[in-house]
Amino acid sequence: MKIELITYRKGQARSVEYEYIPREAGERPMALDVLLQAQATKVSDLSFRYGCRNRTCGICTVDINGKPRIACRSRVRAGDKVSAVSALPVVRDMVSTRDGVARQLRGKLPISLRGNELNVEAPSDYHALTACIECYACLDHCPMHARNLDSDSDERDENGAYRWGSPFSLLKLQRIRLDPVATASDREQALSAAMDLGLEICRKCPGCKCGVGIDLKGKVIQPLLAADG
């Protein structure tokens, strides 16, 4: 089964055709299986990230035929193309820089959140948002995040964080708003951070898509827009 791998070195993208050797008859491997086998056989210096191999850590995301997919849980078929996610700058091969997003909420989150010692029950939407595995698949085609990659305005703050938000950052902020131990001030601070990251852009956007099926539009974007009035 031939799979096209896009390697990226020193600013140059190159197509490598890799012949996957099935481990059993009729196997449809995960994209990560292909990357691991390719590295063990033909492309020994192939770079990619993975951790849990169980759709939990979220760091193995790649593009399959141009769409972000979790490599350890996405099957590929002959002729598929695997490349680094297009929504973030590529460092090498399948590895992208994630720090601009990861650093984004530093200093913006309320500091008054404490442990839930009274076991106050959280609303079900709060639990739904804890399913986020930080795979960043939702950055794909998000017009707010796209502003970060606009070469005319590559805005990062002094910590290297992107200027504009993403479905992921808004999810984190909405989760604070639903946290049962958050104070009114915490909720206001989270909303204000969402607005600062560009929440207004969401008003004219059809919505975002989550790699693990979280209802981002219904449980994140609409409640934040409603709170913003």
CA distances from 75 to 149, 172, 219 (A): 29, 29, 28
Query: Applying CB under 6 A, does 29 fall inside the site for ligand SF4?
Result: no
Beta bridge partners of 12: 9
By CB under 6 A, name the one of 212, 215, 222, 228 that touches ligand SF4: 212
Per-residue x/- mask for ligand FES, residues 57 to 76, rule CB under 6 A?
Answer: xxxx---------xxx----
Query: Applying CB under 6 A, does 160 fall inside the site for ligand FES?
Result: no
Residue whose CB is less far from ligand FES, 101 or 199 = 101
Residue whose CB is less far from ligand SF4, 7 or 69 = 69
Smallest gap from residue 186 Cβ to ligand FES (A) = 30
In angstroms, the CA 157 to CA 16 distance is 37
Query: Applying CB under 6 A, does 29 fall inside the site for ligand FES?
Result: no
Residue whose CB is less far from ligand FES, 51 or 160 = 51
Query: Applying CB under 6 A, does 222 fall inside the site for ligand FES?
Result: no
Question: Which residues, other chains included, contact 152 with Cβ-Cβ below 8 Å and sequence gap of 6+?
Answer: none
CA-based nearest residue to 192, from 159, 165, 155: 165
Residue whose CB is less far from ligand SF4, 46 or 175 = 175
Query: Applying CB under 6 A, does 53 fall inside the site for ligand FES?
Result: yes
| Residue 50 binds: one of ligand FES, ligand SF4, none (C-beta under 5 to 8 A by kind) | ligand FES
CA distances from 118 to 109, 124, 186 (A): 22, 18, 18
CA-based nearest residue to 160, from 177, 175, 148: 148
CA distances from 81 to 53, 66, 93, 225 (A): 20, 8, 13, 37
| Cβ atoms 89, 96 nearer than 8 A | yes
Per-residue x/- mask for ligand FES, residues 175 to 194, rule CB under 6 A?
Answer: --------------------
CA-based nearest residue to 31, from 53, 8, 7: 53
Smallest gap from residue 61 Cβ to ligand FES (A) = 8
The residues of the shown chain that bind ligand SF4, judged by CB under 6 A, are 58, 132-138, 142-144, 167-168, 170-171, 201-202, 205, 207-208, 210-212, 214, 221
